[in-house]
Amino acid sequence: MTETVTGPPTRHRYVVMLMIFVCVVITYLDRSNISITAPAMRKELGIDTVHMGWILSAFGWTYAFCQIPGGWLVDRIRPRFFYPGILILWSLATAFLGVAGSFASLFLVRLLIGALEAPSYMINNLVVTSWFPDRERGGAVGFYISGQFIGLAFLQPLLVWLVVTHGWRSVFFTTGIGGALWGLVWLIAYRTPRESKRANAAEIELIETGGGLVDLGSADAGKQRRKLNWADLATVFKYKKLWGVYIGQFAVTSSQWFFLTWFPTYLVEFRHLSILKSGFYVSLPFIAAFVGTQLGGFLSDRLLRGGYSLGTARKSPIIFGLLLSSSIIGANFVDAPELVIAFMALAFFGNGMASIGWSLISHVAPKPLIGLTGGTFNFISNLSGISTPLIIGYLAKGGNFAPGLSYIAAVAVIGALAYILMIGKLERVE
């Protein structure tokens, strides 16, 4: 228990937010590092675009289909132990990619990484829901989600340099070892609000009175966990409100999966840029997405504090971001690399703004089913991790990526319509 103290609230929740940010950086490096190695890997191993599409989609298959069981586990295993356990295991699997030498081995290891990473975002959501009051949660979600962009923006040039100087296998060794070490840090440092010695009573009271569920993920909460039943599973599938969030997030992640899988290949093979130059260009849309995510989270919380309804504050940045994300289609009508990257950066900036969907799950999920609802949300949205690499791989079979960009733009518009027409008033499903 945290000791009772007088004085102003501590701010340990921001340290926790930074810890989640680092986890997200590692998560996305380990799911997207293969996109950086893809051109060199294809050349060395003789893999065509269709088979590369299957390799790139392998992560998505298990990542998506392990979301619901992963959410069930998140509701039952404390994040202090569950997070480092899966993080260390998927990091070791990432390092093993460095010794893979065939289509089959690459495909199977990516399947394993997808399964192990599946619970990660539900844990992030649970931790933020327990550590942050409602009025700060949008900004907290926006900050940690920005890790998926900023890590790639600044570290992708380093990964490209590793490919050029030490070969594509070195990328997997480096990211895998780094992730395993961070898993140990989380195990040592993370505690829930009431168990933390760094958060005083005033901070816990601020979180709890502001809508934070401070006992989530604690040892005491484990005594109250309910058994999985079909009624719970039906609950997370039967409401139109929840389906609006699911479909909208599918649209957001469809765009992300293009950038996480095919974008470097698009620049090298379709736009004919060198690997080193493409590494610089690849980073620019990710920087734009980082800015968009920060703006989306800040704007959402600012609207809420300014007196706008919770629905307006949370949905507006997402709808605007999805519509802006559809501008990716403009790259089909320009030839200069600078203009191509400008359209890509604008679209990914919008995608960043739309990437705060997890903040809605905190508000609409039934209290005892936050993990399961988050798992369903991530399951449906990350079906795009299967569909996007495969669809673009087949559409680009003749060497033309333009139809693939049109597909991404159309899905973004559908996602915006789902938010506009299906969600309605933003309130918790009971």
307: left (phi over 0), alpha (psi -120 to 50) or beta: left
- Number of folded domains that form the chain: 1
SS3 of 277, please? helix
- What integer is the mean pLDDT of 331-345? 89
Amino acid at residue number 188: I
Residue 7 placed within a domain: no
For 96-106, write each residue's pLDDT tens digit.
988 887 888 88
Residue 365 DSSP code? S
Round the average pLDDT of the chain to a whole number and report it. 83
Instruction: Give the span between the Cα atoms of 374 and 122, in whole angstroms.
Output: 6
CATH of the domain at 372: 1.20.1250.20
Residue 2 placed within a domain: no
CA 232 to chain centre: 25
Dihedral angle computed from the Cα positions of residues 103, 106, 110 and 112, in that order, rounded to the nearest 10 degrees: 110
Answer yes or no: is pLDDT of 241 > 80.
Answer: yes
Stated as kind and residue range, the H or E segment containing 76 is none
Extract the tokens encoding 372. 């399961």
pLDDT of residue 226: 54
Instruction: Give the span between the Cα atoms of 326 and 4, in whole angstroms.
Output: 51
Owning domain of residue 211: 12-422
Q: CB of 370 within 8 A of CB of 75? A: yes
Instruction: Give the span between the Cα atoms of 80 and 360, in whole angstroms.
Output: 24
From residue 124, how far is each of 35, 118, 119, 173, 390 by CA, in Å? 24, 12, 9, 25, 28
| DSSP states along 188-256 | HH---TTT-SSS-HHHHHHHHHTT--TTTTSTTGGGGPPPP-HHHHHHHHH-HHHHHHHHHHHHHHHHH
Instruction: Give the span between the Cα atoms of 168 and 163, in whole angstroms.
Output: 4
Residue 210 placed within a domain: yes
Residue 1 placed within a domain: no
pLDDT of residue 158: 81
- What integer is the mean pLDDT of 260-284? 73
Query: Is the pTM of the predicted complex or chain greater than 0.95?
Result: no
Residue 107 DSSP code? H
Residue 345 placed within a domain: yes
Answer yes or no: is pLDDT of 80 > 90.
Answer: no
- Helix, strand and coil percent figures for the chain, each rounded to 5: 80, 0, 20
Amino acid at residue number 121: Y
Residue 5 placed within a domain: no
Residues 6+ apart with CB under 8 A from 297: 138, 139, 140, 141, 142, 143, 145, 146, 317, 356, 359
- What integer is the mean pLDDT of 29-40? 80
Extract the tokens encoding 97. 């990619």
Residue 179 placed within a domain: yes
1 band by pLDDT with thresholds 50, 70 and 90: very low
Q: CB of 248 within 8 A of CB of 318? A: yes
Answer yes or no: is pLDDT of 13 > 60.
Answer: yes
Instruction: Give the span between the Cα atoms of 319 and 322, in whole angstroms.
Output: 5
∠334-338-343 over CA atoms, to 5°?
A: 60
Residue 429 placed within a domain: no
For 110-168, write each residue's pLDDT tens digit.
999 999 998 998 898 888 888 888 778 777 877 888 787 777 777 777 888 888 888 88
